[in-house]
Amino acid sequence: MATLGVPGILAWRYPVPVNLSHSRLFLSILSISLLLAACHEEPPVHGPLRQEAYVWQRESSPAVRESIGQARDLAGLAVLAAEIDLRPRTPSVIRIPLDAATLKSYGRPVGAALRVHAFPGRFVDDPKMVQYLQNLVRDVVAEARTKGLSLSEIQMDYDCPEWKLEDYRGLLLSLRPSAAPVPIRFTALPVWLYQVRAFRKLLEVVDGYVLQVHSLEPPHGPGGPIALTEPKSARAWVEKAAGFGKPFRVALPTYSYQVAFDAKGKLIGILAEGPLLTFWEGTTVRSATSDPQAMAGLIRGWTEKRPKELAGVIWYRLPVAGDRNNWSWPTLRTVMAGRAPQPGLRAETRRPEPGLVEIDLVNGGSAESTWPPSVRIRWGNDTFIAADALAGYSLRRDGAREVRLGRLGGGSNARDRALRPGDRRVVAWLRFKVPTEVQVELSPPAG
């Protein structure tokens, strides 16, 4: 017996030789079946992606408000409204008040995110915990309504173990009436996509979801690779998520974090937010950073071709002045356009008073720049009096009309290793008896 199997139709079995009329009939049926299958296959889409960002600060500071005002390139925001810890017997919550005045003046869709930390039990066994979350969702929606702010969504951010997805489905279903009429969505981990039945049922009770493809594994040691997002995996997960037929956004990282290991290589701390730290001697510190070039490649690829279910990108997190663990606005805007950011390091001279010259390093580009290992400064007369180096440089006299700045050993602080876009740092001053023209030459930045 000969067998021909075609996906989507039954396999036909027939003896040989075959009647010619039967063969023609079979070929006609096969052609129609393949044509129908091709018609049902959804073609990819192309064009600009909708891009949004998270606002994850716990306080609406002047810097946060200023950054929201600059976010006109973004199609919307999702602001952190609450952090909930369900591990203690009595749940604890940090509520972040909605800055309605700033968000309304922003003039674009704004959603509220609720970050739920690990829950050791099951919601189905703890109705009081479910009621606690219902009341919290209701309070956030009511706060927005009272302040005249129309929310675009309630987004639940809960890292549910994949074996408890059915339980999570029950929770989300119970939260819908509390959120109504605001749509409710959730943040999904890629591992959930492989629990096909449970994930499909989860999608039945929500209005959409965000696929998080960053920071999925802890660093394994001081010498191992640290990647926030692996582009190849991100593309594969997006394709797999599209197979469920539900619109979704993908969350991409803009941040970095410090990872500290002790002398034995044991992980002792991770710092992703807050001020940068200096660690004690013997500690190995590495920085895990989001690669702007790789993220730009993802945006460029999805702009050219993507599944129709991919509704957009949401960046974690909004650039804010003073947040040294995050991209700056020039970097984010460049990546959003699908371009790889480039540094633009240059030296500038200033003359705050007669005879005094100050040397600035300025990064006018869209990417971080490492410090140049040396800076050569020359002048054209013999009126030099004194000079000094700043910002981690030492000064050496190289002749009657020249000095050279050399970079001292780098510290563990990210602030010591890079000049961010827009940064300006004074690296030296020189004093002369009379006003003097000065020339500055930078060596290529190391690394």
Q: Give the end of a domain, one of 312, 336, 360.
A: 336
- 46 assigned to some structural domain: no
The rounded percent of the chain whose pLDDT value lies above 90 is 72
**pLDDT at residue 413 tops 50:** no
**pLDDT at residue 26 tops 80:** no
Residue numbers of the domain that contains 430: 345-442
- 96 assigned to some structural domain: yes
Q: How confident is the model at residue 89 (pLDDT cuts 50, 70, 90)?
A: confident
Same-domain status, 354 and 205: no
Same-domain status, 300 and 435: no
Using CA atoms, how far residue 323 sits from 306, 318, 417, in Å, is 32, 10, 15
- 447 assigned to some structural domain: no
How many helices and strands, by DSSP H and E, does the chain display? 10, 24
Phi and psi for 433 in degrees, rounded to 5?
-70, -35
Same-domain status, 309 and 376: no
CATH number at residue 93: 3.20.20.80
Total domain count, the chain: 3
| pLDDT for res 445 | 67
Residue 237 identity: W
Same-domain status, 178 and 305: yes
Across the chain, what does the average pLDDT equal? 86
**pLDDT at residue 48 tops 60:** yes
- 115 assigned to some structural domain: yes
Q: What is the mean pLDDT of residues 17-29?
A: 44
**pLDDT at residue 4 tops 90:** no
| pLDDT for res 277 | 55
Same-domain status, 303 and 422: no
Using CA atoms, how far residue 259 sits from 267, 289, 328, 396, 412, in Å, is 7, 11, 21, 35, 11
Q: Give the end of a domain, one of 336, 364, 396.
A: 336
Same-domain status, 232 and 288: yes
Same-domain status, 163 and 250: yes
Same-domain status, 22 and 71: no
Q: How confident is the model at residue 15 (pLDDT cuts 50, 70, 90)?
A: very low
**pLDDT at residue 367 tops 80:** yes
Same-domain status, 320 and 392: no
pLDDT tens-place string over residues 157-185: 998 999 999 999 999 999 999 999 999 99
- 67 assigned to some structural domain: yes
Same-domain status, 209 and 235: yes
**pLDDT at residue 10 tops 50:** no
Q: What is the mean pLDDT of residues 288-301?
A: 94
Same-domain status, 398 and 279: no
pLDDT tens-place string over residues 229-278: 999 999 999 999 999 999 999 999 999 877 777 777 777 766 665 555 55
- 45 assigned to some structural domain: no
